[in-house]
Structure 1
Amino acid sequence: MVLTAVGTYGGLGVIRANPSLFLPTFIAALVVELILFFVVRGVAEKGNNGLALPLLATYSLLSGYTLSGLVWVALGTKGVGIGGIAFAALGCGITFIVGRQIGSNLSEQDGMALTKTVQLGLIALVVVLVGQLLCSIFGVFTPTWLEIAISGIGVLLFAGAAVVDFYILPRSYRDEQYLCAALSMYLTYINLFIFILRLLIAINSRD
């Protein structure tokens, strides 16, 4: 998370100093980040932690850089600012503490039911987000009320994913594959942070 914060700080610096440079570097960072995700996961699944660790560190930096655009919007949104960013980070931390308590004590039946429900919900969320992106490309932007609904659902789904992580990861990976588990939990944390921040921005951007 420290490396992600460093990447975000760097991205904010680029936006302030040279805004026209941010978009192409954002796209490049996003492409490399996507490639690194599959590379890191593949290497970590083999238990090659010596190679996976620096790759995961690079992935965290790039993730922070691609997150800086949303953080910039949050900083410029009245009623959100640095306080909203801190609230989103704190909310993620509390969610993981509670998620650990719940997920570690789920029965097999309840755990599998929750896992399947969250997985289906995340698939539906991805479809909605892709549709939202395509609409924005053609100049059709999401109404504020719909953005609030999408962000709220995203928060709920990734809060559920935090519970699922603590249930399923100990059952899915061996001890030497701890970086795989760390990557999965990192993705859940970052996406939960994103959707909390999106929700705060949408709520405070109402006309």
Structure 2
Amino acid sequence: MPASSNFQQAIREAQSSALVGPNVVNKALPYVGGGMVLTAAGVIGGLSLIGSGSPLFMPLFWVALIGNFILFFVAQNVAMKGNNGTALPLLSAYSLITGFTLSGLVAYAIGVAGIGAIGTAALATGLTFVVASFAGRRMSDSVGQSLSAVVGLGLIGLIIAMVVQLIGSFFAPGMFGGNGFELMIAGFGTVLFVGAAFVDFYTMPRTYSDEQYLAGALGMYLTYINLFIFILRLIIAIQGGGRRD
């Protein structure tokens, strides 16, 4: 997932207490919020197509999914150069397309656990942001660097587990395709991205200059989108929606 490269880069670069961009967090936050709004709009658009039974949804989904990965790397590269005038429309499109690709998961969650599952995941994500914004800015270097290292290792483990789940579900669906393995991954992913939310507020001022606020916003956006996704997956797994038997 694109989030992994972004986290690992931030963790590698946040090696000292020197602040590269003391104002980058405050400058990035409005764009994180704007990205979330665009993502919600993309989800609503996808849900509308699903609800209407349109045959266009699946072709558009695959085009959006492939385009999303390409757009991420292009937007990240432009944002890292501080070319914010070009990066902003790219990141806006990326956020909107991300919402569309998530609409299938949201529709499934609503079917399994009801509309309340979406509200619960959104509320938990928002509360994490509030707590992380307070505590993450105040972490000492020892705590911040240690937590960054743990999150980095956890991301590697999560990616390996998800690849094992994907491959294993084809060859041993009873072991890897059931609800137990999904519950484990969803729970681990939720805890991991809660930790990443705290890490963001520590690493961003030590990684990005004030002119790179859109690059920082992209990293923080990915943290909270992934947190929302894994909370939803956890709710689905608890409700038994991960079973394939």
- Please name the residue that 2:179 is paired with: 144
- Please name the residue that 2:235 is paired with: 200
Count of aligned residue pairs for this structure pair: 205
Measured in 1, the distance between the counterparts of 2:231 and 2:120 equals 9
Correspondence for 2:162 among 111, 124, 129? 129
- Please name the residue that 2:74 is paired with: 39
- Please name the residue that 1:83 is paired with: 116
Following TM superposition, by how much is the alpha carbon of 1:163 offset from its aligned partner in structure 2, in angstroms? Answer: 0.3
Unaligned runs of 5+ in 2: 1-35
Measured in 2, the distance between the counterparts of 1:88 and 1:11 equals 19
Identity of aligned residues (%): 55
- For normalisation by structure 1, the TM-score amounts to 0.94
Measured in 2, the distance between the counterparts of 1:143 and 1:102 equals 37
Root mean square deviation of aligned Cα: 1.5
Whichever residue aligns with residue 191 of structure 1, its letter is N
Instruction: Spell out the pairing of 1:101-116 with structure 2 (5 A cutoff).
Output: 101-116=134-149
Whichever residue aligns with residue 63 of structure 2, its letter is A
Unaligned runs of 5+ in 1: none
Correspondence for 1:54 among 85, 89, 92? 89
- Please name the residue that 1:63 is paired with: 98
- Please name the residue that 2:125 is paired with: 92
- For normalisation by structure 2, the TM-score amounts to 0.80
SS of 2:127 mapped into structure 1: helix
Following TM superposition, by how much is the alpha carbon of 1:21 offset from its aligned partner in structure 2, in angstroms? Answer: 3.0
Whichever residue aligns with residue 114 of structure 2, its letter is G
- Please name the residue that 1:117 is paired with: 150
Measured in 1, the distance between the counterparts of 2:216 and 2:235 equals 29
Could you say which structure has the greater relative contact order, defined with CA pairs below 8 angstroms and 6 or more residues apart? 2
Using the TM superposition, name which of 21-30 and 87-96 deviates more: 21-30
Q: C-alpha offsets along residues 156-182 of structure 1, whole Å, 9 cap, x if unaligned?
A: 000000000000001101111100111
Following TM superposition, by how much is the alpha carbon of 1:155 offset from its aligned partner in structure 2, in angstroms? Answer: 0.4
Whichever residue aligns with residue 40 of structure 1, its letter is A
